[in-house]
Amino acid sequence: MSFRRTPASFPSPSISKNANSSGKLSSLLQQSIQKLPSSNSIPKQSHLESFLTFNSKPSNINLNDASYYFDCMILLQPLPPISSFNRLLNSVSKIKHQHKVAIFFYRRMNKARIEPNLITLNILLNCYCDMNQVEFAFGILGLILKRGFTPDNVTYTTLIKGLFMKDKTHEAVRLFKKMSRLGVRPHVMTYGTLINGLCRAGKVEAAVRFHEEIMNGNIGLGFVSKPNVVCYSILIDNLCKDGLVSKAKELFLEMKSRKISPDSVAYTSLIHALVYSDKLEEAKCLFIEMFDEGISPSVITFNLLVNVLCNKGRSNDACELFDKMLQRGKQLDSLSYNTLVHGYCLEGKIDDARELYVSMVDKGIEPDVRTHNILINEYIKIRRIEEAIWIFRQMIFRKIKPTVVTYNALLTGVLQKGDVLAAQKLFDEMQLHDLTPSFKLVKVDIREAGKGCTMTTDILMKI
C-alpha cells in the first residue's frame, strides 16, 4: 500500500528560497522538475553506490550532485533498496541549514510510492527537531506508529533532544521515563542527551541526581549500557562551571573506578576549576597525570596554570610543566614564554629569564613588547643597565615599538647611572613617538643623579 501523507499527520513547511549549499534550493527544485535525467543517462546501481559511499559525510556531498543522483534513483528499475535512499537523505540532512531539502526528497519518495522504513522516518523526525519544530516531529512519531513500526532508541532520543531545544525540560524528562514503559530500554546516547539537556537548562544538580539514580538502579529503566566518558565529561564540565568542584572530583574518581578513562574535557574542566579554587597542587598533579595518560593539555590550560604558579612564586614548578609541554612537541605561544619570563623576574631569576628569552628567539617565536619590558624593568631594578640597554636594542632590531613603560624604565636606569646625555637622547626619542614620561619619576631621578647640571634643567623644562 502506498504511503499517503495527510495535513494532520505529515507537516508541510514552506521551503526557504535562501537555503543554499552549492546553489539555491529554489533552483534545485526547478532542476528536479524540469530537467529529470533521460533513461539513457541514468547511472548504474554500482555508480550510485560509489557516490553514496564517497558522500556519506556532509563535508563531501554536493547538493546539486545529490539532487541529480536522487532524480536518477527514483527512475531506476528496479528501485534501489530503501537503505540507499536513507543514506542519501541522512547525508543531505546533515548539511547545515539543508534539512528542508531532505524533507523535500522524502516527499518525492512518497509521491513515487517508495515505501519508507523506520530509519527513513527517524531521519525525517530528526530534521524537524533540528529545525526546532518538535511539534512536527511528534507528527512523524504518529506516522511511525500508524505504519506499524516500533519507535526505537533513536526515535525517542531525537524527540527528547527536540523537547530540550524548545525548553520543554519537564516533557523531555517525562518522555525519558516513559520509554521503558513503552518497551524501549534507554541507550547511553539517550542518557547523554538527557544529561546534556538538563545541564544546558541550568539544572546541573538535577542532572547529577538523575545520574546517581541511574547508577544505583533506582529508576528501573534497564539501561542497555552505562554512562560513557562523554556523559561523565558533560557532568564534570558543568559542575565545575557552577563551582561545585568537590562533586566534580567525586564524579571524576567514580568514572576512573568504573574503568572509564577521562578525556581532555574532563581533565581540562577540573584543572581550571582547581586553579580558580586556589588548589594549585591538585591542579598541577592532575596536569601531570593528564600527560602520563597520553592526553595533551591545550596551551590555554597550560598558560592558566603556569601564570598562577608564577604569581605564587613557584617558577620551578611552572618550568617543570613548561619542559613537559616542549617534550611532548606542543607549540607554545608568546604568552606562554612571557608568563614564565615574568615568573622568573618576580623571583629575581633574571639570568633564567634571559636564557628563556634567547630560547624563545631561537625557536622563531617573536617576543612581544611585554616580554622586552619585563626584562628591561628587571635589569633596571638590579642596576644592570647595560643589559637592559641590550634588550632595548634587540627590541628595536625586531622592529617592536617601545612604549612609555619601556622609556620610563630606561630613563630611570640611565639617570641612576648619572648619564644625563643618554637621558636626553631617550627623552628626545620619546617626543618623536609622542610619548610622555612619568613626570614625578623623571623629576626625582634627574635631581638625584644630575643635580646642578644644565642638561637636567633643560629636561625638566621640556616636561
- What domains sit in the chain, N to C, each tagged with a CATH number? 1-149 (1.25.40)
pLDDT at residue 115 tops 60 = yes
- Is the whole-model pTM more than 0.95? no
The string of pLDDT tens digits covering residues 234-263 is 999 999 999 999 999 999 999 999 999 999
Other C-beta atoms closer than 10 Å to the C-beta of 172 total: 24
Q: How far is CA 340 from CA 40, 199, 271, 373, 458, in A?
A: 70, 36, 19, 14, 40
Report phi then psi at 20, rounded to 5. -150, 150
Over residues 116-123, mean pLDDT: 97
Q: pLDDT value at position 368? A: 87
Q: What pLDDT digit, counting tens, does each position of 188-247 carry? A: 899 999 999 999 999 999 999 988 888 876 665 555 567 899 999 999 999 999 999 999
The SS3 of residue 351 is: helix
| 165 compared with 35, residue with greater pLDDT | 165
Which of 56-60, 62-66, 275-279 shows the lowest mean pLDDT across its residues? 56-60
Residue 28 has pLDDT above 60, yes or no: no
> Cβ distance 378 to 386 under 8 Å?
no
Residues 188/224, Cβ–Cβ less than 8 Å: yes
